[in-house]
Amino acid sequence: MSPTLELSCALIARPSVTPDDQGCQQMLAQRLEKIGFVIEHLRFDDVDNLWARRGSAEPVFAFAGHTDVVPAGPLADWDSAPFEPGIRDGYLFGRGAADMKSSIAAMVTACERFVAGHADHAGSIAFLITSDEEGPSVNGTIKVVEHLEARNEKIKWCLVGEPSSRDQTGDTIKNGRRGSLCGVLTVRGRQGHVAYPQLADNPVHRVTPALHELASIEWDAGNEFFPPTTFQISNINAGTGAENVIPGSVQVLFNLRFSTESTAESLKSRVTAVMDRHGLDYDIQWRLSGKPFLTPAGELVDAARHAIYATMAINTELSTGGGTSDGRFIAPTGAQVVELGPVNATIHQTNECVNIAELDKLSAIYEQILEQLLA
């Protein structure tokens, strides 16, 4: 086994279902401390976080990632135990193999090689690792960033190891993400017997035209960096469970993934305008999961592109698609942020896996980026 594969297996073997780190960060800290990193374990509520830094000078290059994983799901659907790393047909299988324990392993081994050749490198290298990325994301990266900001410790470049690639490692990197605005809509009516609808007021019937209108709106056209804003309903719940009772209320969960052409406030205003126009008795609880961010071409993006070409002989594609990541908490501090990791085809699925041949290549890409920015 290569050092990267070996460390990936060791991390996968720890069942760190969010937010339980299961000692992964301690393992990483021990490796990093041996090559000169100063370790800080930052626990907020039930979440373990790691901030490790080598050097005290600026600029700061930070690797960011998470040790927590989503639940494995039905064990019978796995061809091998999800927390027993399996190697077959050139792939490493296990929960977290792609999202994102192999990325973290590649970061560590890249640093070990880089420091061996550049003990007096410029600036500082840091690791920001949380166990609260797959969960509610309230006591993880965002709290660490607030902690760093309070003592005026700034990250200039941040590489998040999320699985960004589509077909092979490095073919796609994320240089931004859309914003995410969540809403819980409650529409009230009057409960009654289905045989006497004149004595009731069915909120499901009332809200349906409004939902159809919201689903049909062109919120914006996007721009050269972002696709258009989208509206999606994720859940509708109403009723008592009885087939002969008109519900007294209906709850609708929805999400808006938005580009920089819209703002959270403008989207809220447009949604409530639709509700008001349909004369509904309603309220909406809003949660802004993250604002959109973008890192344009510059030092970090260029370094990533060059490193990928040097290692993989491919030209990478810049993308802002997909879900959110903890980059949304780091970018507002002024840091340049990119996401670069393995192929994402199996993330959150049973039989999650990563191509073993590409693990060391990912580590080499990370090392090349350090060479360009800090050597």
- Would you name the residues annotated as active-site residues? 68, 133
CA-based nearest residue to 154, from 37, 47, 294, 56: 56
